[in-house]
């Protein structure tokens, strides 16, 4: 059984869906279609119950948005995806707060192609905690973010990566 709750944030409410004590989805609430698609693909028959926000997770997000870019690092995640996606998502958690990597650098780390890495990065269902927003173009440009480029810029500024 899955449990769902919403947390406020300075850049829009977050929908968090958990299985046991692991976060399997964390998306901006206005990305409801992405959430529905991920649930349909990976959690088709599972019940979802609305729940009160988990206090540990709420506190971590409050600390993050108050300026501690490492506050989300210890949260447990268990997103569902292909083995390749899982590899990319694990690698994303290696990008230190306050830093960015290019798609090329991420691809080099996982021994893949930047376009394949970009596809897996773009399908990340656990925004912020799996920091796909820290991946930028080789030329330093802000490219691709499901939550929108203004949010990506805001998050990177918060983390002092810009």
**Sequence ranges of the domains in the chain:** 2-65, 83-158
Each residue's pLDDT tens digit, 26-83: 999 999 999 999 999 999 878 999 999 999 999 999 999 999 999 999 999 999 999 9
Contacts for 103-110: CB closer than 8 Å, 24+ residues apart:
103/135, 103/136, 103/137, 103/138, 103/143, 104/138, 106/135
How many residues appear in the chain? 162
> What's the CA gap between 135 and 115, in Å, rounded?
12
Q: Just list the catalytic residues.
A: 132
- Give me the pLDDT at residue 161, please: 65
Can you tell me the mean pLDDT for 113-137? 93
Looking at 3.90.1150.10, 3.40.50.1970, 1.10.10.10, 1.10.3470.10, the CATH number of the domain 83-158 comes to 1.10.10.10
> What's the CA gap between 134 and 107, in Å, rounded?
14
- Give me the pLDDT at residue 44, please: 84
Contact in structure between 108 and 94 (CB atoms under 8 Å): no
- Give me the pLDDT at residue 45, please: 78
Contact in structure between 16 and 55 (CB atoms under 8 Å): no
- Give me the pLDDT at residue 84, please: 95
pLDDT tier for residue 127 given thresholds of 50, 70 and 90: very high
């Amino acid at each position: 059984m899955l449990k769902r709750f919403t947390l406020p944030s300075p850049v829009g409410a977050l929908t968090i869906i958990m299985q046991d004590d692991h976060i399997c989805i964390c998306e901006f609430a206005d990305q409801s279609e992405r959430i529905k698609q991920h649930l349909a693909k990976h959690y088709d028959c599972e019940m979802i119950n609305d729940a009160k926000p988990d206090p540990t997770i709420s506190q971590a997000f409050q600390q993050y948005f108050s300026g501690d870019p490492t506050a989300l690092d210890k949260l447990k995640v268990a997103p569902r995806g292909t083995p390749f996606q899982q590899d990319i998502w694990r690698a994303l958690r290696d990008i230190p707060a306050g830093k960015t990597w290019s798609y090329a650098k991420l691809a080099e780390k996982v021994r893949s192609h930047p376009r394949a890495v970009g596809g897996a990065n773009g399908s990340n269902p656990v925004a912020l905690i799996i920091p796909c927003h820290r991946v930028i173009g080789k030329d330093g440009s802000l490219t691709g973010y499901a939550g929108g480029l203004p949010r990506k810029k805001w998050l990177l500024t918060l983390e002092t990566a810009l």
